[in-house]
Each structure stands twice: as structure tokens, then as C-alpha cells.
Structure 1
């Protein structure tokens, strides 16, 4: 399987790239900065340099052409301001979605966040509120697509603890933590599960093995 991952040098993306490579797949990591190519290569993926904040849909679709699946795991990052929440977390996600469809890549996974469907809490930090609105708008745009086999994954608070291979995965889980290792493992399992198409799922640490959790969540 040939899979293009936006945000290819990110922590979840690198973990997913290693998992894909370890089973003989061909992962490709889409990165904004050429300086991060080494990170992608070390994870076993081929780096593709492309700035999703300035690229056209045609340019991105050319990079996606021939892929079997696409994963949007990019983000503006915790140190960015409101403007980049809009240009990356919303606009880049929508661009990547459009480019996937244009390139004929039907299978799309999106890494989103919890709590993005409604209006942010009144007490929320303005930058975080903008982030939630941007993610919510991007998710809504993805869910409106009938020409893509999409799945949206909404992890809880991310940690760097070692993965356990056991999670809770459902339409609604309640807020909790989840390891980045386990997020990557769930993404891999979702890629392989046709019944996950059209589902928006929340993910936290739990007691159910990943394969069983995925199967149960999409029944």
C-alpha cells in the first residue's frame, strides 16, 4: 500500500510511517521544510516537500497521484497563533482533502481533536478556541464529501508514554489521555478496515486490544 501522510515529520506521522514500512508498505511523508527530510527518511518514508499553506490543489494532487490512501496528520502546532490555526488546521486540511479526491485517492484518514463540533467554551483561550473552530470546520468539510472513503479520528490528550496496544475507541469516549504510539496503531488498523469508512471516532487509552476496538467501533 502506498500512503501519503501530510505532516510527515510529526510525531504521530513518524510512528505511522514506521508501522507501514515494517509491514512492507510504501509511506510518503509530506513536509513543509526540506530540513525535516531526514526525520521522514529515518522513519522509513520518502519525503515529499510541499507547503500546504501556499500550494495549489493541482500541485498537491500531483504528489498524491498513484497513492492508495492519504492521511492528514498535520497541525500548526502549540506555539502557533490564530492565523496559522486557520491556514493549517482548516485550510490545509480542506486542500489536502480536495487534492485527494482530484488525484483519485478515495481512502482518507484525518487526525482531528475532541470537542470540535460545537462552539468552544466561553472560558477557552482565544487561540485554542480558534483551533477548535478550525478543526471543526475541516471535519465538517470532510464529512460532506461523498467522493471519498473518509474516517476521522479524534484522539484525547496525547502523551509520549509507551503504547499499550489497548484503547477505547467509540463515537464518544469522554476525555482522557492516549499515547501517540497507540494513535498510530489505531490509524494503521483503520486503514485496513473498510467498515470504518464514514465514521468519526474518539480515542483514549483503554483495555481493549486495538484490532478488537476497531472492529467493535465500526459495527
Structure 2
């Protein structure tokens, strides 16, 4: 079993991953900002770790990550606080987590990013345009690191129950995906680390999660 450090554990994808990974016997350290989030994360099976990406430095975050096998970064401003908060969480927060993982000698890093077509055909706000720019910059930053990374780009996130079936590929048509199935895909990437240093697009589909990822694994 793995020791998993989740940045953004109090978010919807993060909470689902906490629950699923804990149920599989993994030891989950759940980074959260607000004290009141600790009880729910504990109930889901995690060891809560309080910390704020806006205040932690590399050394402090690395100390929290020490001994972990994989970092999952699912944090995001979620449109709150405008462009400046997106820059801080989705941008500098990711860079902080990458540096901390390297300092703590955590080998593997999974990033929940954004599907490139997320805003196509829509009238986008300046804030959303900035969000997409920051997400791409974060992808580039991680991809240029020495970590064993995977960037997961889910389609439009929904709160529908997970089906355990997805469509995954290096380039696929845009679509929706349940947050629970994003978490299930992250769990599969934790448990089957053969997929590495690649970008995977993800939507709802007909293929069981493990089989969908297995099809992408090197022969």
C-alpha cells in the first residue's frame, strides 16, 4: 500500500479520492486549510494535515510530505477570488508543491489539470481565460520537472454517481466526467505506476477505469 499526500483534499475530487484510497488500504495524508474540514476528512479515512498553500514555504510543505510515495494535486481556486487567487493556488501553489515533493524525495506526482477544449464555443470571462493560461503553465512546469508525473485532464466535472467506466486517451473528444470517476482514475494511477510522464484526457465512457489506463501503458 502507498502513502498518499493529497493537496486539495477538502475539494470534491479530493474528498472522493480520500474515501476511495482509504477504503483500499492506502495511508492518506489530507492537506486542508480550514480547521473545520478536519473532522470530515478523518471520517473519510484520512489523517488531516492542516496547511495553507498561500502561507507554506517549500521547506514546511516538504516536511509534511516526507515519507510519502505520491503527491496528488487537486487544489484549485474554483473561480473564487478572481485571477489573483487562481494565480496563487493553481499556479504558484502547484509550483510550491512540485518543489516540496522534490525536496522531500517523493517520487511520483499526479496533477488534476483542465481539458484544453473546456471553454471552446463559449463566451469566456477574462477570469476563465486566465484560468486556462495558468493551468497550461502549471502543466508545463510539472512536465519540465524530474518527477515521475502524470497530468490528468478531465472534461466538465459533474456530481453524478461514478460508474467506474471512462474514456481515457492522449487526445479524445471533449465530454463530461463524474468527480468520483476522476478520483477512481487517480487511485488507479496510484496503484499502477507503469503510466508515467504522460498527459491523459478523461471523460465518461464505457471502459472500466483500470482497463482504460492499461490500454495506454507501454507494451
TM-score, normalized by length of structure 1?
0.94
Question: What is the CA–CA distance in structure 2 between the aligned matches of 1:122 and 1:137, rounded to whole Å?
Answer: 22
1:124 Cα offset (Å): 2.4
**Equivalent residue for 1:157?**
156
Q: Deviations over 1:12-38 (max 9, x none)?
A: 111111111112111011011112112
3-state secondary structure, aligned to 1:52: coil
The answer for unaligned runs of 5 or more in structure 2 is none
* Alignment partner of 1:182 is 2:154: no
**Equivalent residue for 1:8?**
9
Q: Deviations over 1:153-204 (max 9, x none)?
A: 0100011111111100011112110001111110011112222110110100
**Equivalent residue for 1:41?**
42
> Where does 1:196-211 land on structure 2 (aligned, <5 Å)?
196-211=195-210
Question: What is the CA–CA distance in structure 1 between the aligned matches of 2:194 and 2:21, rounded to whole Å?
Answer: 20
1:121 Cα offset (Å): 8.4
3-state secondary structure, aligned to 2:194: helix
Change (3 A) 1:122 1:21: closer
When the two chains are superposed, the root-mean-square deviation of aligned CA atoms in Å is: 1.8
> Where does 1:94-133 land on structure 2 (aligned, <5 Å)?
94-115=95-116, 123-133=123-133
1:79 Cα offset (Å): 3.0
Q: Is the Cα contact below 8 Å between 2:165 and 2:209 reproduced in 1?
A: yes
How many residues were matched structurally?
217
Question: What is the CA–CA distance in structure 2 between the aligned matches of 1:198 and 1:23, rounded to whole Å?
Answer: 25
The answer for unaligned runs of 5 or more in structure 1 is none
Question: What is the CA–CA distance in structure 1 between the aligned matches of 2:40 and 2:95, rounded to whole Å?
Answer: 25
Question: What is the CA–CA distance in structure 2 between the aligned matches of 1:125 and 1:161, rounded to whole Å?
Answer: 26
